[in-house]
């Protein structure tokens, strides 16, 4: 019986290393490739005909496009249009990563802190660079909002700095923790099904419910990851 953590193990499929750094192609990378191929296939094959009246597949692709476009427009405004391809790629990549993880014996690359944190760090650094490029040193005002009494600076500035720098952590840990905990739960409860004989129908029913819930969480966490990115982008472009 495999332990509940075994599903998160990184297994190299092809050993590779450049300048002493291990860049082996692993099961994680394989599922990233699968996600990227599916996203690309979904977004290009369904739009192949580019029909005026969309079919089911084209309609779905358009829904994803408009969903992310509206999210960006509502949260960032028209200034965010430039970043639409990035935000869309991010959303689809995380969404497919989360959903593919629901396939039994697959691998959930979004359940790894290295992946979620690397993405969060890129977003954090990118947003910070955008902020300084648009506002120059005025962007430092983020840490002390306009109109706040000067006496509050001693409390406000450290709080704002901490809250600003905790962004990549909250972004990364939220996704990683949700995916990891969900999968551990499924595995543990799944383990009970076979162990307790006929009574196994009870954990099985529970498992069915939790599986539905996990699908919801997979979509929701992709949405949360993306919308937080949009909100950070909004702060960088419009300040508070």
What's the burial of 92, exposed, middle or buried (CB within 10 Å: 0-12/13-18/19+)?
Answer: buried
Interaction between residue 25 and other proteins (CB under 8 A)? yes
Interaction between residue 67 and other proteins (CB under 8 A)? no
To other proteins, the closest distance from the beta carbon of 5 in angstroms equals 6
Q: Which two tokens stand for residue 127?
A: 């947003």
Q: Give the whole-angstrom CA distance, residue 50 versus residue 26.
A: 36
Of 47-55, 142-150, 195-203, 216-224, which segment contacts other proteins by CB under 8 A?
47-55
Is 142 or 186 the residue whose CB approaches other proteins more closely?
A: 186
Q: Give the whole-angstrom CA distance, residue 76 versus residue 107.
A: 33
Q: Select from 43, 102, 193, 220 the one that contacts other proteins (CB under 8 A).
A: 43
Strands 25-26 and 12-14: antiparallel
To other proteins, the closest distance from the beta carbon of 29 in angstroms equals 4
Site string for other proteins, 157-196 (x = CB under 8 A): -------------------x---x----------------
Q: Give the whole-angstrom CA distance, residue 102 versus residue 107.
A: 9
Q: Select from 1, 2, 50, 154 the one that contacts other proteins (CB under 8 A).
A: 50
Of 23-31, 71-79, 157-165, 219-227, which segment contacts other proteins by CB under 8 A?
23-31
* Closest by CA position to 13, among listed 26, 22, 32, 23: 26
Q: Where are the beta strands (DSSP E) in the chain?
A: 12-14, 17-18, 21-22, 25-26
Q: How long is the chain?
A: 240
Q: Which two tokens stand for residue 94?
A: 């995380």
Residues interacting with other proteins, by CB under 8 A? 5, 8-10, 12, 16, 21-26, 28-29, 32-33, 35-36, 39-40, 43-44, 47, 50-52, 54, 58, 61-62, 65-66, 84-86, 88-89, 92-93, 109, 111-115, 118-119, 176, 180
């Amino acid at each position: 019986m495999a332990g509940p953590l075994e599903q998160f193990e990184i297994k190299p499929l092809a050993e590779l290393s450049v300048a002493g750094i291990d860049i082996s192609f692993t099961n994680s990378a394989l599922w990233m490739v699968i996600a990227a191929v599916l996203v690309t296939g979904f977004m290009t094959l369904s739009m192949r005909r580019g029909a005026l009246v969309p079919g089911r597949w084209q309609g779905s692709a358009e829904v994803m496009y408009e969903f992310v476009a509206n999210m960006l427009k509502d949260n960032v405004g028209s200034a965010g249009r430039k970043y639409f391809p990035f935000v869309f790629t991010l959303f689809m990549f995380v969404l497919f990563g989360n959903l593919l993880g629901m396939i039994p014996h697959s691998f959930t690359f979004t359940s790894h802190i290295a992946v979620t944190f690397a993405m969060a760090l890129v977003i954090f650094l990118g947003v910070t660079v955008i902020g300084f490029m648009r506002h120059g040193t005025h962007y430092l005002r983020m840490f002390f909002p306009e109109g706040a009494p000067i006496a509050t600076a001693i409390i406000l500035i450290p709080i704002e700095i901490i809250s600003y720098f905790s962004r990549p952590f909250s972004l990364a840990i939220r996704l990683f923790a949700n995916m990891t905990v969900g999968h551990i739960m499924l595995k543990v409860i799944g383990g009970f099904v076979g162990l307790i004989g006929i009574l196994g129908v009870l954990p099985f029913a529970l498992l069915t419910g939790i599986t539905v819930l996990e699908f919801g969480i997979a979509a929701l966490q992709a949405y949360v990851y993306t919308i937080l990115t949009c909100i950070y982008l909004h702060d960088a472009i419009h300040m508070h």
